[in-house]
Amino acid sequence: MYLHSLSGLSMASVLGLAQLSAHAAPVQIKAPAELPAKATLADVIKASKPSDWRALDPDNTLYMDIPSGRVVIELAPGFAPKHVANIKALVAEQYYDGLAITRAQDNWVAQWGDPNEKNPKPIQHAQRTLPGEFTVPLKNIKSFTRLPDLDGYAPQVGHSNGFPSARDPKTGTAWLTHCYATVGVGRDSASDSGGGTELYAVIGQSPRHLDRDITVVGRVVSGMPLLSTLPRGTAPMGFYDSPEKNVPIKAIRLAASMPPEQRANLEVMRTDSAAYQAVLEAQRHRGGPWSKVTAGHVDLCNAPIPVREAGK
Amino acid sequence: MYLHSLSGLSMASVLGLAQLSAHAAPVQIKAPAELPAKATLADVIKASKPSDWRALDPDNTLYMDIPSGRVVIELAPGFAPKHVANIKALVAEQYYDGLAITRAQDNWVAQWGDPNEKNPKPIQHAQRTLPGEFTVPLKNIKSFTRLPDLDGYAPQVGHSNGFPSARDPKTGTAWLTHCYATVGVGRDSASDSGGGTELYAVIGQSPRHLDRDITVVGRVVSGMPLLSTLPRGTAPMGFYDSPEKNVPIKAIRLAASMPPEQRANLEVMRTDSAAYQAVLEAQRHRGGPWSKVTAGHVDLCNAPIPVREAGK
């Protein structure tokens, strides 16, 4: 009887995974009144049209191959144009190949870069450091679908072309927010001390207090479990305490540089579509029979962004 | 130079891990003005007094032993008295011993219970199911230190004896919230279909939309990486697709039933202490030199609750 336990929970899956059918369990005497059935995330995905989805842009999609598989990262050049260009330059000169994931801190980040501090890998054409792109002018971001839901960290939050983002009309700035799977640029204390040679992905509770304090360049759209299940490092801040524990990076490649048949065939639900509004509504107001109350609210980082294999 | 990258990030660690000393990097030309240095989480912990901490109550502390180590769970009897009593009864009759973790869904939960649905393990004295304890009367919860910070899911949020919690004066109810490490009771569609034979721990972004919809019984205070790094199940909802992949539970024991020398010697910072207010303030307003802006806000589930070995 417990296979289906917590069946209501599957709706929050970041990917649009299959959902088990609803139960027809009889209403219990004294049980709270049942909520009416409502569209679930799975229902919304099933009812969506092809035009509600977009393919990943091969010119802004990275494949990071590690021994356990492939992590697919979508870059957001609108929010960090210089860093994204630099990361693509680093990828083009195969800078990351042979480097490693050197850090995995629980409920925090997995981080990768050059494990050899004393004799760092030379950079040929790209930049080692750049001025931080912590925010961009609001006018540069044409697409923004605002969430009406309260947020404690920013005056306005919503989605820009599939990325959780925020903006502040008073300062005229916009930025990408730190949610699960967000990819950012490690830096030292100086705000111009990062450039993309060290990157991290969020593997825990959204660390929104980092927003506007670090350059965010994109998000992982596939392969998060390869990062989230990494053994946690036991040195301070989750670094691995010996080089043998580092997880080697075989290669990071731009999708556009790969033959089409070797590319990940993923598509992402358009966050400016009506279907996506239905996704948000399914999160805010879940229906019965599993749910007994509805939250009436969705947090920016709890809003799933469906990803699927194209044509499925 | 990159060992210290993201050094500002360590403050969000749930445990009070050692923090590397601040950098003395020269201020860059054109760099934003430095924020004044402020107490970090590590500083607050260092400055705390013994009275700012409390030992775990052995009568409400569980040890779950799995092959990779021990997970320590603090129970919250005030919020789920019948379920906590029932779970302790299940522990007393060694019900969980030999059962398994059967599910690990990425950015969601790890769940344990009886993997044998067709021939379930008999229960001797405890109950198999109980009416849900999704909320409790507000007047039953004597301790509540309210966070002044905005929350989208509840009218009031804060901490009750070390547990993230919420309450609604209008309905006169209080409840424990779903944050990273929260432990709850799996159930089927009927609200009285759970009883503690199936439990789960949150291993990802806080699923606050489950609040008041499921019985929460406590939180993991030590050993989260043993759950968060479990291989993700590939069957629907993250269940393992074959019995061999289940992770066996050697035993779950009440700390009070163990000889004192075999108990975990942990203490938790009192969430009603002045030191804890300083923890919250360190999260809201981080100082330089790493941080360039302060969030000015802390989300309930981003408020670290420091845990340490007693006497260290």
Q: For residue A216, give every residue at least 6 positions away whose Cβ sits within 8 Å of its Cβ, in sequence order, or none.
A: A76, A79, A80, A175, A176, A177, A178, A182, A183, A184, A185
Q: For residue B47, give every residue at least 6 positions away whose Cβ sits within 8 Å of its Cβ, in sequence order, or none.
A: B39, B275, B278
Q: How far apart are the C-alpha atoms of A14 and A40, rounded to whole Å?
A: 13
Number of domains within chain A: 2
Residues of chain A contacting residue B189, judged by C-beta atoms under 8 Å apart: 7, 22-23, 25, 288-290
Q: Which two tokens stand for residue B286?
A: 């981080």
B43 and B105 housed in the same domain: no
A39 and A135 housed in the same domain: no
- Domain presence at residue A110: yes
Pairwise CB contact (< 8 Å): A5 & B134:
no
**What mean pLDDT is predicted for residues B268-287?**
97
Cα A146 to the center of its chain, rounded Å: 18
Label residue B4 by pLDDT band (50, 70, 90): very low
B68-78 pLDDT, tens digit each: 999 999 999 99
Beta bridge partners of A75: A218
B121 and B253 housed in the same domain: yes
Q: Which residue has the higher pLDDT, B3 or A278?
A: A278
Q: Which residue has the higher pLDDT, B151 or B118?
A: B151
A138 and A41 housed in the same domain: no
A33-45 pLDDT, tens digit each: 689 999 999 999 9
**Chain pair A-B, CB pairs under 8 angstroms:** 278
A304 and A287 housed in the same domain: yes
- Domain presence at residue A224: yes
Pairwise CB contact (< 8 Å): B180 & A286:
no
B62 and B32 housed in the same domain: no
Q: Nearest-CA residue of chain A relative to B289? A: A189
> For position A307, what pLDDT does the model report?
97
> For position B33, what pLDDT does the model report?
67
Label residue A50 by pLDDT band (50, 70, 90): very high
Q: How far apart are the C-alpha atoms of A239 and A246, rounded to whole Å?
A: 9
Average pLDDT, whole number, for chain A? Answer: 91
Give the number of other CB atoms < 10 A from CB of residue B33.
8
Q: What is the ipTM of this complex?
A: 0.91
Please check the confidence at residue B275 and state whether its pLDDT lies above 70: yes
Task: List own/partner pairs for A49-54 with CB under 8 A and 24 or more apart.
Answer: A49/A275, A51/A270, A51/A273, A52/A269, A52/A270, A52/A273, A52/A274, A52/A275, A52/A276, A53/A267, A53/A268, A53/A269, A53/A270, A53/A308, A53/A310, A54/A162, A54/A267, A54/A268, A54/A270
Please check the confidence at residue B46 and state whether its pLDDT lies above 50: yes
- Domain presence at residue A2: no
Which range of residues forms the domain containing residue A17?
7-52+274-309
Is residue A113 less than 8 Å (CB to CB) from chain B?
yes
Is residue B194 less than 8 Å (CB to CB) from chain A?
yes
- Domain presence at residue B2: no
Residues of chain B contacting residue A239, judged by C-beta atoms under 8 Å apart: 3
B22 and B84 housed in the same domain: no
CB A109 within 8 A of CB A202: yes
CB B200 within 8 A of CB B187: no
Instruction: Judge residue A106's burial from the number of C-beta atoms within 10 Å of its C-beta, 0-12 exposed, 13-18 middle, 19 or more buried.
Output: buried
Please check the confidence at residue B206 and state whether its pLDDT lies above 90: yes
A297 and A177 housed in the same domain: no
- Domain presence at residue A268: no
B47-68 pLDDT, tens digit each: 999 999 999 999 999 999 999 9
A226-240 pLDDT, tens digit each: 999 999 999 999 999
- Domain presence at residue B1: no
Residues of chain B contacting residue A151, judged by C-beta atoms under 8 Å apart: 150, 152
- Point out the residue among A188, A213, A297 whose CB comes nearest to the CB of B153: A297
A114 and A250 housed in the same domain: yes
B51, amino acid identity: S
Average pLDDT, whole number, for chain B? Answer: 91
- Domain presence at residue B287: yes
Label residue A312 by pLDDT band (50, 70, 90): low
Is residue A25 less than 8 Å (CB to CB) from chain B?
yes
B39 and B121 housed in the same domain: no
Count how many residues are written for chain A: 312
Instruction: Judge residue A307's burial from the number of C-beta atoms within 10 Å of its C-beta, 0-12 exposed, 13-18 middle, 19 or more buried.
Output: buried
B44 and B125 housed in the same domain: no
Please check the confidence at residue A94 and state whether its pLDDT lies above 80: yes
Q: Nearest-CA residue of chain B relative to A151? A: B152
The domain spanning residue B244 has which CATH number? 2.40.100.10
B208 and B171 housed in the same domain: yes
Label residue A29 by pLDDT band (50, 70, 90): very low
Beta bridge partners of B166: B157, B175
B212-251 pLDDT, tens digit each: 999 999 999 999 999 999 999 999 999 999 999 999 999 9
- Domain presence at residue A118: yes
Count of alpha carbons within 13 angstroms of residue A287, beta-carbon side? 13
